[in-house]
Amino acid sequence: MTISIWRYSHLTLAISSALFIIIASVTGIILAFEPISNKLNSYDVVLLKDVSISETISVLQQKYDEVITIEVDENDFVLANVVLENGKSETFYINPKTGEKVGEILEKQAIFEFATTLHRSLFLKSTGRFIIGFVSFLLFLIAVTGILLIVKRQGGVSKFFSKIIKEDLNQYYHIIIGRYALIPIIMITITGVYLSLEKFSLLPKNKSFHQSIAPLKNAKKIKTSDFEFFKSTKLEEVKKIEFPFSTDEEDYFFVKLVDKEMAVHQLTGQIVSQKKQSLIALGSYYSLLLHTGKGSILWSMVLLLACFAILFFIFSGFSMTLKRKKTTTLIKNKFNKDAATYIILVGSETGSTFNFAVAFYNALLTAGKSVFLSELNEYTTYKKAQNIIIFTATYGEGEAPVNANKFIRKVNKIDQKRVLSFSVVGFGSVEYEYFCKYAILVQSHLQIQEKFRSVLPIFKINNQSFSDFNNWLKEWSSFYKIPLKIKKEAFQFSDEKKQEFTVISKTEINIDDTFLVQLKSNKKIKFESGDLLSITPKNENRNRLYSIGKIDKTILLSIKKHEFGSCSSYFNSLEIGDKVVASIQKNKEFYFPKKTKEVILIANGTGIAPFLGMIYKNKTAKKIHLFWGGRTKESCGIYKEKIKAALEDQSLTSFYSSFSQEQEEKIYIQDIILNYPKLISSALERGSSIMICGSLNMQKSVLKVLEEITKKHLKTSLKKFEENHQIKTDCY
């Protein structure tokens, strides 16, 4: 069964019961404090496993005129109902070793009274109890489908606790917390349902009864505290002891243990009859303990955390759903399916592939083409179409996303009138075993169709990488001879939030009109070196992006002031203490690689900024080699101190620079790289990464040089390492 069926069930159940689950969880949180606050009264003065029934009876009979009952509650507090000298009966907590009173009966606090009624019956008596019982059952189903989703996502039961690939923060913690909270949640729900069934008398009737035991002949009358059964039974096993009502021999001691009940002869101490607790009654007893946490601070804490977890699941689950909805409702076609010559079909589960498809759709429209965008499952006949472009993600274990699972069946069934040129772009993640498998499947199915003609090889995009996408776009544009350009800004990044930052330092502008600015966020935010700061200058609606270097939780930007650049001029006009409003765009594909031991960083000009942050963070003795190209030695001035310090504390292994204008003949950074073929080729061979940041021209020339090196020294094209995601670029 596909992952989406489980997801839909999980979601539908959650939506239908969310309100009641929220009420039950909030009241559950309050009620979890009741056993904790009770237990803190410390009336459990001795360990009950060290006290026998006989000891307690003996001290009580010495101290009081008459004993009516002894009870042991869930907190292991011992309650005695006794008749005092004044003839009045009283119930209070006692020390079972001495018989002394240790405290008054605990009254239920008003807040717990209120929360209990709301939790149990919503103040609606039987109707409310029924609703809560039913919701408890729904929550059980939600938890079970949640477990199935995790198993599916992780690729099997054995991988339930293995590493989770971080795609989205809400999704990540939904699973991380889910893995630990689902078991207590299942226990809460099963016991909740059980208690409701018991309340409505829907459990099988208790059929056990007292069975008489033939008394021993010639049994002697002995002192109560000498009864063998009372001497050998510890209080920890006892729930309640009822003393004989009169001195009549037919009146017995009734002793209720956890698993049985017995009648004990009041003179001889012999067990006269016995009744075993039925499984149903035992179930009720343990359900109550497990559901309420009574008697255990530790379990109450687990229940408390589980209630918080449920509230978090509701919040994160709904925000994931809203995000998905937002991205999948972007389709607003200008042309209908039979009027368009270009058809874009999308396979997406969480919506990010739609961002790429919509950007491509808009670019084609801008180029004057008639385009129609739809989901893969909506595949049908297209009267005028000549080209079909398929963007699809992969889910589960190499399966189709939810809106693409009918596509292959439809392709085999639906007959197109015209021949369609097609290209497939797979969106996936190399962290999964079956990278872009569904896209590969689509490609191979279309290839064997008579009416489909493959024009470009399948193209795979890792982790929604914009630079991968751009490379595909270049290939596609040059094949179709349609110059398409898509800027990163064209994407609707839903998690972008505007924040306020304060300028904490700024260098003087250098000979190349470049300067460094350091910003501190006024709120706690998460970002990494390589992320982008997005800022929209006043009176403009197009944003600018700057690569971030992260230094001690602050943002380091390297900015080149352009003569008429409003944004760079704005930054240059800032003074320490000034406020800046901007947002952070995640740029995961340009993060410093965690796994490799050696990394080569290549930049020119202001492209050095993210690398300064990455080097600063390198405290794990990874080898980092930095190549940097500028115009003159003076250009390096603003970075010099940072590079020197990094070389000294060995967070940077080596530094290579080129200055294009320091000598007659221009020397660029690619010329320097060419002198270190061994460093480059052996790093690539060992699986290390090369990161490039700076101008697009520099990127082009550097890639050319790298290609030369790999061809000569590794006898292979650079493409192999690009496909292996060892080359990361962020150029503009």
Ligand X SMILES: Cc1cc2nc3c(=O)[nH]c(=O)nc-3n(C[C@H](O)[C@H](O)[C@H](O)COP(=O)(O)O)c2cc1C
**How far apart are CB 391 and ligand X at their closest, in Å?**
8
> Which residue stretch of 241-249, 350-358, 495-503, 676-684 sits at the interface with ligand X (rule: CB under 6 A)?
350-358
Widest CA span in the chain? 125
Please state, in angstroms and rounded to a whole number, the distance separating the CA atoms of residues 425 and 78: 71
- For residue 485, the SS3 value is coil
**How far apart are CB 441 and ligand X at their closest, in Å?**
11
236 binds ligand X per the rule CB under 6 A: no
- 449-455 long-range contacts, CB within 8 A, separation 24+: 449/411, 451/415, 451/416, 451/418, 451/419, 451/420, 452/388, 452/416, 452/419, 452/420, 452/422, 453/419, 453/420, 453/421, 453/422, 454/421, 454/422, 454/423, 455/387, 455/421, 455/422, 455/423, 455/479
φ/ψ (deg, to 5) at 56? -65, -45
Helices (H), ranges, 294-397: 297-328, 352-366
* CB proximity list for 451: less than 8 A, separation 6 or greater: 415, 416, 418, 419, 420
Size of the site for ligand X (CB under 6 A): 24
Q: Select from 393, 608, 609, 692 the one that contacts ligand X (CB under 6 A).
A: 393
**How far apart are CB 640 and ligand X at their closest, in Å?**
41
For ligand X, which is the closer residue by CB, 54 or 348? Answer: 348
> Which residue stretch of 290-298, 315-323, 345-353, 373-381 sits at the interface with ligand X (rule: CB under 6 A)?
345-353
Q: Select from 99, 178, 351, 694 the one that contacts ligand X (CB under 6 A).
A: 351
> Which residue stretch of 264-272, 302-310, 425-433, 577-585 sits at the interface with ligand X (rule: CB under 6 A)?
425-433
Q: Select from 52, 54, 196, 350 the one that contacts ligand X (CB under 6 A).
A: 350
> Which residue stretch of 404-412, 428-436, 492-500, 722-730 sits at the interface with ligand X (rule: CB under 6 A)?
428-436
> Which residue stretch of 69-77, 237-245, 292-300, 348-356 sits at the interface with ligand X (rule: CB under 6 A)?
348-356
394 binds ligand X per the rule CB under 6 A: yes
Residues 124-163 that bind ligand X (CB under 6 A): 153
613 binds ligand X per the rule CB under 6 A: no
Q: Select from 428, 610, 629, 694 the one that contacts ligand X (CB under 6 A).
A: 428
Please state, in angstroms and rounded to a whole number, the distance separating the CA atoms of residues 169 and 282: 43
For ligand X, which is the closer residue by CB, 6 or 342? Answer: 6
**How far apart are CB 353 and ligand X at their closest, in Å?**
3
Report the sign of the C-alpha dihedral through residues 97, 103, 105, 106, in that order.
negative
How would DSSP label each residue in 20-61?
A: HHHHHHHHHHHHHHHHHHHHTT----S-GGG-BHHHHHHHHH
- Cα-based torsion angle of the residue sequence 503, 505, 509, 513 in order, rounded to the nearest 10 degrees: -50
Question: Which of 576, 571, 611 lies closest to 591, judged by CA?
Answer: 611
**How far apart are CB 430 and ligand X at their closest, in Å?**
7
Q: How far is CA 640 from CA 19, 462, 628, 637, 662, in A?
A: 59, 35, 12, 5, 17
For ligand X, which is the closer residue by CB, 116 or 429? Answer: 429
> Which residue stretch of 295-303, 343-351, 413-421, 623-631 sits at the interface with ligand X (rule: CB under 6 A)?
343-351
> Which residue stretch of 103-111, 183-191, 349-357, 571-579 sits at the interface with ligand X (rule: CB under 6 A)?
349-357
Please state, in angstroms and rounded to a whole number, the distance separating the CA atoms of residues 149 and 3: 7
How would DSSP label each residue in 425-481?
A: EEEE-TTSSSTTHHHHHHHHHHHT-TTEEE-S--EEEETT-HHHHHHHHHHHHHHHT
**How far apart are CB 195 and ligand X at their closest, in Å?**
36
Residue nearest to ligand X (CB): 428
Please state, in angstroms and rounded to a whole number, the distance separating the CA atoms of residues 582 and 544: 10
Q: How far is CA 674 from CA 337, 627, 670, 707, 712, in A?
A: 52, 11, 6, 10, 11
Place of tokens 């914009």: 466
Question: Which of 244, 280, 247, 238 lies closest to 263, judged by CA?
Answer: 244
For ligand X, which is the closer residue by CB, 129 or 406? Answer: 406
Please state, in angstroms and rounded to a whole number, the distance separating the CA atoms of residues 707 and 327: 38
**How far apart are CB 166 and ligand X at their closest, in Å?**
10
411 binds ligand X per the rule CB under 6 A: no
427 binds ligand X per the rule CB under 6 A: yes
Q: Contact letters (x/-) for ligand X, 321-340, by CB under 6 A?
A: --------------------
> Which residue stretch of 44-52, 313-321, 391-399, 416-424 sits at the interface with ligand X (rule: CB under 6 A)?
391-399
Residues 668-707 that bind ligand X (CB under 6 A): none
Quick one: how far is CA 270 from the chain centroid?
Answer: 61
Q: Select from 90, 397, 496, 708 the one that contacts ligand X (CB under 6 A).
A: 397
**How far apart are CB 349 and ligand X at their closest, in Å?**
4
Q: Select from 28, 35, 269, 398 the one that contacts ligand X (CB under 6 A).
A: 398
316 binds ligand X per the rule CB under 6 A: no
For ligand X, which is the closer residue by CB, 394 or 587? Answer: 394
**How far apart are CB 437 and ligand X at their closest, in Å?**
6
Q: Select from 98, 273, 278, 429 the one that contacts ligand X (CB under 6 A).
A: 429
**How far apart are CB 56 and ligand X at their closest, in Å?**
59
| Cβ atoms of 552 and 505 closer than 8 Å | no
**How far apart are CB 722 and ligand X at their closest, in Å?**
17
For ligand X, which is the closer residue by CB, 350 or 377? Answer: 350
Please state, in angstroms and rounded to a whole number, the distance separating the CA atoms of residues 607 and 674: 20
Please state, in angstroms and rounded to a whole number, the distance separating the CA atoms of residues 465 and 499: 25
> Which residue stretch of 26-34, 183-191, 414-422, 423-431 sits at the interface with ligand X (rule: CB under 6 A)?
423-431
401 binds ligand X per the rule CB under 6 A: yes
Residues 459-488 that bind ligand X (CB under 6 A): 464
Residues 434-463 that bind ligand X (CB under 6 A): 434-437
| Cβ atoms of 732 and 695 closer than 8 Å | yes
Question: Which of 214, 224, 216 lies closest to 267, judged by CA?
Answer: 224
Please state, in angstroms and rounded to a whole number, the distance separating the CA atoms of residues 80 and 101: 9
For ligand X, which is the closer residue by CB, 73 or 168? Answer: 168
**How far apart are CB 426 and ligand X at their closest, in Å?**
7
Tokens representing 645?
């310090």
For ligand X, which is the closer residue by CB, 108 or 159? Answer: 159
Place of tokens 């503009």: 732
Q: How far is CA 365 from CA 10, 11, 368, 372, 373, in A?
A: 39, 36, 5, 10, 11
For ligand X, which is the closer residue by CB, 433 or 450? Answer: 433
**How far apart are CB 445 and ligand X at their closest, in Å?**
17
DSSP 411: H
**How far apart are CB 182 and ligand X at their closest, in Å?**
17
For ligand X, which is the closer residue by CB, 436 or 441? Answer: 436
Q: Select from 395, 422, 659, 721 the one that contacts ligand X (CB under 6 A).
A: 395
φ/ψ (deg, to 5) at 170? -60, -45
Residues 157-196 that bind ligand X (CB under 6 A): 167
For ligand X, which is the closer residue by CB, 395 or 480? Answer: 395
**How far apart are CB 149 and ligand X at their closest, in Å?**
8
For ligand X, which is the closer residue by CB, 167 or 475? Answer: 167
Question: Which of 548, 556, 501, 550 lies closest to 524, judged by CA?
Answer: 501
For ligand X, which is the closer residue by CB, 50 or 431? Answer: 431
- Per DSSP, what are the bridge partners of residue 550? 555
Contacts with ligand X, residue ranges (CB under 6 A)? 153, 167, 348-353, 393-398, 401, 427-429, 432, 434-437, 464
